[in-house]
Structure 1
């Protein structure tokens, strides 16, 4: 998950950081899903 977080946000998200305190794990999971879906949709539309 670390490399994915780095790719999405441009920074490494450290466990216990203030960033993690602002989001629940389910919110993070939903965000990751939405980003992956939008990225794959853009990749498909380019073809």
Structure 2
């Protein structure tokens, strides 16, 4: 899932940001892929939940 080559595309313009500059702002993190990978890892060889 995701956009193939996205990181190589945005890397040249990426820059570090101080946490203080994010104060009083909203930050969204899409953790759905991490949840999917976790749930997949928590299955036995037959696909049953542990």
Q: After TM superposition, is the score higher than 0.5?
A: no
Bin for the TM-score computed over the shorter chain? 0.3 to 0.5
Q: Which structure has the higher relative contact order (CA within 8 Å, separation 6+)? A: 1
Larger Rg: 2
TM-score normalised by structure 1 residue count: 0.32
TM-score (norm 2): 0.31
